A and B are shown apart, each in its own frame.
Chain A
Amino acid sequence: MNSLSQSLWALLPETTLLLAAVTIMTACAFLNWSRTTWSVLTGAAFGAAFLALLWVSGEETDPYASAVSTDALGFYGRLFILLTGPALLLLTPRDVGAGKAGEFYGCLLLIHCGAMLTACANDLATLFLALELVSVPTYLLLFLTRRSDASLEAGTKYFLLSVFSSAALLFGMAYLYGLTGTTNLRGLAFLLNEVPESLPAGAARFGTIALLFTLGGLCFRLAAAPFHFYAPDVYQGTSTGLAALLAWIPKGVGCLAIIRALTSIVGGDSELARDGMFVAWVIAIATMTVGNAMALLQSNLKRLLAYSSIAHAGYLMAGVAVAFGNPVGEPGTRATLGAESVLTYLAAYALMTLGAFAAILSLRGEGDDGEPETLQDLAGLARSRPGIALGMATCLMSLAGLPPTLGFLGKFQVFQGILESANGPGGGAFLFLAVAMALNAAVGAYYYLKIAVAMYLGEPGRRTRSYRVAPAPAVAMTVCALGSILFGLTPGVVTGPAREAAVAASAIPEPMAAAVETAGFGGGAGSGAIAGPSPAAVETVAAGPGASSTK
């Protein structure tokens, strides 16, 4: 039971958030406090979780027994998600009526709780639970802020597709379990890479099915093709603050889940890894091309940013394709460049996308006119609101991948990973991917440039609105824009943790000799659970399918 208590202790930050969420959601039924009060409480909960995370950061859990992992990916992933919490808090106030504020902020806390749990999940069941913990409150948020039929449609669309993708994910996970007999992710990695001969016959075919469905289910969260259709409608239909949340949290969660559940257990030269590489390669090229091509046609800002986020999902998937080619369990070489580039890109993406949404949100029109909706609404912004225009331009520079911003660093890392892979078998395909990505980035720069041109070179027309500046989103925008520049100039701050996390995620620690003997590895059967001596592991393994079926 030692391992179980360790895991629970390591989950202290998540527990803090969960408790805060439950308290807030219960209390708001009885207390008629203002929105500001609730948001301050939420902020305090984030702060408490931050302290809790620092407190438990030294904890170590048994990689083969525990359902959570406190490795570097667990720590830095949770830390980063936690830091974006206050930013989202600053972006969302306008979406909430005072009557619904408690529920709204409770959901926000739950979403972050789920996202943090994804970062440190070490078990298929935990991972699935974490992903659902992100999804379910998101549905609630979409319906809570419903203002029109369009937002109702957006919420419904998101709900149905999300449920569908969860089913696909679960299907894939079930195959992974069936293949190996364990749900522990390190155990899966050990079985698939160190003792592949212990897998049952036909493992490759089952493995491919598992891979396809798991990746497909997670691609929905990244808004990667062919599961990207919902993004523009949902972003446009919902409020801008929630669009910012949808653009960042599911994508971050999806990437973390892919790293945890796929690229850290499948990799190297195996047949399964090559399948993964191929699928990710196709998805990457399709996603970035579709996203950029469609974004070119948009004049609505939110739709444009939605398609831009699809395009960025494509760049992230390019990193995933690289990560599939990296061998698992051999850290220290350049073997973790794929996951490292995905994590770096993800950090850059969070800052620049949240910054761009924050810039839109910080402009408040006079009277009934809300925030800017189309490109034309931004015309001449550099003259009327130079600060906001500059912040927006910085984020756009980062999105376009121009140096010296963090966005450039992300693209640079992905290019590096791709070209490193171009060195091995199937090198031509990777070179093609690099060139396709470069061309796509240039296409992408065009529509970001259109926004910059509207702001800096556009003449304000007769219908152009004048704006007041909303302070809270403006603060978030400033932080994001400064972060994009400063981290771009001191990239080690981002790449260092990203590398450490990537290395830690794919490491396969030596299992205890006793565990190997008990489970009888190398015997050929290999259908037993991997971590025999630990009762907690048996528990989690047993709970895995059980939890899934109740879902």
Chain B
Amino acid sequence: MIGARRSDSRLVGRGGFRFDSFGSGGFGGRGREDEDEDEAMGILLLMTILVPLALSFWLALMSGSESGSEPGAGRRLALGTSLGTLAAACALAASHDPSNPEAQFLFRATWMEIAQGGRIEFAFGLDGLSLGMFVLTPLLTAAAILSGWNTPRERSSLFHGLLLAAQAGLSGAFAAQDVVLFYVFFELTLIPAFLLIGMWGGPDRRGATIQFFIYTLFGSLLTLVGLVALVVINYNHGEARVLTFSMAELTRQLGAMEWGPWRESGTIWNPSVQGLVFALLLMGFAVKLPLFPFHSWLPGAYHEAPTPATIVMAGAMSKLGAYGLLRIALGMTPQGLAEFQPLVSSLAVAGILYGALNAMAQTNMKLLVAYSSFSHMGFIALGVVSLNGTGIDGATAQMVNHAITTTALFAIVGAARERYGTHDLEAVGGLWTRMPLLAFFAILAALGSAGVPGLNGFVGEFPILAGAFRTNPWIGFLGTLGMILGAWYLIGMLSSAIFGPATRRVKEVDAPIRWTEIASLGTLSALIVALGVRPEIMFRSIRPSAAPLAAAVERARVTSTIPIEARPDADADADAESEAGSEAEPDAAAAAGNGNPASIGAGSAVEVGAAPGSASDPVVAGRRGLDSV
């Protein structure tokens, strides 16, 4: 017992130390009223996440007493909840201060105390990166519920409860300000999706749902290792040596960390510590996104899932991957991202083209939209790894845009399927003649998705491609090619499903468009136009929050050593490191100065033309590159 007490006193000492260092949170220098208001908003934010979660349990219990043949009160409660949370999210967005890059509306409570004063927190907050998807998540859920208003007939309360649970998980993941909390919500979305596909899906639902679950879990467990590694590295080598799980703290400290191996740069073949951690983090996000070649769960899962589940998965859940990359990989391992950038951007472009070619070959409408969604997710990945502010802004905006257009397209496919009982493009033709309003929505969604100027897809994809061109023209060129292919197959889909002569099946069925469909598709279409015309609504809040990330990755791109202003003796150090490197790996050093961390940054800087001057002296070139930024 003596030992235990002795250690306890030390624990307290550590904890107190950490607490002091936390003063630099979000509240610095503001008045008391602001604080109170912020606190109230924080509780509203918490409610937006917890109320749907609680009601989902209620609905699941309700399903036990249900007779089972008709969709009961469950759908109305679920719709009401998602609309209520949407209103709350809009209120939060309205009072969001776009000029403040920090997370706002903070709510924090200790969840779990770990040794050395570390604590995992229930910490939620919103900044420009997460605000868009946070507002959109309840909207998408509402659209999903409306588009499947009459389905399913069996155990409908449970179905809607699971949709709400998915919404809660997604909102929580987007708002989480603690890495463990983020992971918990990230995984929490898995179970509703698994059950939604498995219980109400198409004929091959079992295989599809197992594949989806296992793929995602494989990736996300590796991501968990990466997250824990970040925390541990920060604790052992960070400036303040604190055990923290807070995203803001981790981003700040890991960015400023002086530990040699953390700043050292490697290559894909010989990754540095930061590169390894990035690779671990990437795995989970790549599966969720999905990035080519981690996408093979996607066609099955999207196709077999009932339409509302497909909407939630393609619309919101896939964004978790992109968001995780933005929030965690970009902020905490910029150097690692810079190392793997060629690989990831190639994979993103491969996904864009592969998805587009697959979509062109489909005669099944749902699969076509699924592959189209996959292809367009590639653009978001491309923007995230473009290593410049333009691309990152575009990717953040495109997350919102893609969610809107994909939801609309899947809702239209679901509406057609409900009426004509098929996804076959051949069997559904000439919708224009019977349901002009639905056809109009379809045209708008397809054009928005294809990136026609004036609609929302353009305002996201254009900055992404501009950013990609700046980093590597070839990647940019191939991405543009993917955009053209996208327009091709989407317009192809329109021409056969909407404009062609009405097929027998379409003529026979007389089912006019319902108010639920008008409500959901009308709202989405309005957003498609509004965001296309006034993209500032989004970019206003995105830019300040994305700017620090952009600065971090641009610095990582240009220089691979510790920033020179922080290390006055960088030259001496670089020399010493180059010696150590060449001693350890003579062949690596021989190949284009691989052993010398400084020379790689210089090399890449010269390649993209960011640094004027010759590359004869790698260290000097690296310094010039930095100055030019």
**B11 pairs with A332, CB closer than 8 A:** yes
Q: Is the C-beta of A298 less than 8 angstroms from some C-beta in chain B?
A: no
B7, B64, B205 interface centre (most CB from chain A within 10 Å): B7
Proximity bits, A385-404, B CB within 8 Å = 1, else 0? 01000000000010011111
> In the assembly, what is the distance between CA of A355 and CA of B351, in Å?
44
CB-CB nearest in chain A for B1 = A71
User: In the complex, what residues of A have CB within 8 A of residue B221's CB?
Assistant: 401, 438-439, 441-442
User: Within 8 Å CB of B112, what residues of A?
Assistant: 409, 490-492, 495
| B217 adjacent to A445 (CB under 8 Å) | yes
* Contact call B229/A412, Cβ cutoff below 8 A: no
Which residues of B are found within 8 Å of A71, using beta-carbon distances? 1, 3-4
A416 at the interface (CB under 8 A from B): yes
B113 at the interface (CB under 8 A from A): yes
Asked if A282 is an interface residue, CB under 8 A from chain B, the answer is no
Contact A457-B2, Cβ < 8 Å, known A334-B115, A403-B187: no
Q: Is B191 an interface residue (CB 8 A)?
A: yes
Which of A332, A416, A491: most chain B Cβ within 10 A?
Answer: A332
> Looking at the complex, which of A419-427, A517-525, A540-548 is the stretch in contact with chain B?
A419-427
Whether A507 pairs with B3 at a CB distance below 8 angstroms is yes
Question: Does B43 touch A at the CB level, under 8 Å?
Answer: no
CA of A138 to CA of B191 in the docked complex: distance in angstroms?
Answer: 39
Residue-wise interface mask of B (177-221) relative to A, using a CB-CB cutoff of 8 A (1 in contact, 0 not): 000100110011011000100110000011001100110011001
With A439-B221, A453-B198 in contact, is A416–B232 under 8 Å at CB? yes
Residues of B within 8 A of A456 (CB): 195, 198-199
In the bound complex, do residue B3 and residue A509 qualify as a contact, i.e. CB atoms below 8 Å apart?
yes
- What DSSP secondary structure best describes chain B's contact surface? helix
B140 at the interface (CB under 8 A from A): no
Structural contact, A412 and B115, CB atoms closer than 8 A: no
Determine the distance from Cα of A509 to Cα of B116 in the docked complex, in whole angstroms.
Answer: 21
Q: Knowing A431-B276, A495-B112, A495-B114, say if A416 contacts B228 (CB, 8 Å).
A: yes
Tell me the A436-486 residues at the B interface (CB within 8 Å). 437-439, 441-442, 445-446, 449-450, 453, 456-457
- Residues of A near B88 (CB, < 8 A) are none
Cβ contact of A331, chosen from B3, B180, B225, B228, cutoff 8 A: B3
CA distance A403 to B115 in the complex (A): 20
Note all chain B residues with C-beta closer than 8 A to A400: 217
Asked whether any CB of chain B lies closer than 8 Å to the CB of A227, the reply is: no
Q: A415 to B115, Cβ gap below 8 A?
A: no
- A483-499 Cβ-contact flags toward B at 8 Å (1 or 0): 00000001110011001
Interface bits B383-418 vs A (CB < 8 Å: 1, else 0): 000000000000000000000000000000000000
B534 contacts the other chain (Cβ, under 8 Å)? no
Q: Is A203 an interface residue (CB 8 A)?
A: no
Interface status of A60 (Cβ within 8 A of chain B): yes
**Cβ-defined contact, B225 with A403, below 8 A:** no
B263-274 Cβ-contact flags toward A at 8 Å (1 or 0): 000000000000
Q: Is A500 an interface residue (CB 8 A)?
A: yes
Query: Is B232 a contact of A420 with CB atoms below 8 Å?
Result: yes
A402 and B198 form a contact (CB under 8 A): no
Complex Cα spacing A309 to B10, Å? 37
Q: Once bound together, how far apart are the Cα atoms of A415 and B224, in whole Å?
A: 9
Partner of B115, one of A337, A402, A409, A507: A337
Closest residue to B279 on the A side, CB-wise? Answer: A435
On whether the beta carbons of A415 and B225 are closer than 8 Å, the reply is yes
Residues B232 and A419 in contact, CB atoms below 8 Å apart: yes
Is A504 part of the binding interface, using a Cβ–Cβ cutoff of 8 Å? Answer: yes
Mask, A33-66, CB within 8 Å of B = 1, is: 0000000000000000000000000001000000
A402-B191, A415-B228, A442-B218 given as contacts; is B210 within 8 A of A449 (CB)?
yes
Closest 3 CB pairs of A and B: A507-B3, A332-B10, A331-B7
Give 14 pairs: A residue, B residue, CB < 8 Å, sorted on A. Answer: A331-B6, A331-B7, A332-B10, A386-B64, A397-B191, A431-B276, A435-B222, A435-B280, A453-B198, A456-B198, A456-B199, A504-B1, A504-B3, A507-B7
B residues bordering A, Cβ < 8 Å? 1-4, 6-7, 10-11, 64, 111-116, 180, 183-184, 187-188, 190-191, 195, 198-199, 205-206, 209-210, 213-214, 217-218, 221-222, 224-225, 228-229, 231-233, 235-236, 276, 280
Q: A419-B225, A419-B232 are in contact. List 17 more A-B contacts (CB 8 A).
A: A70-B1, A71-B3, A331-B6, A332-B7, A334-B235, A402-B191, A403-B188, A416-B232, A435-B222, A438-B222, A442-B218, A450-B210, A457-B199, A495-B113, A500-B4, A503-B7, A507-B6
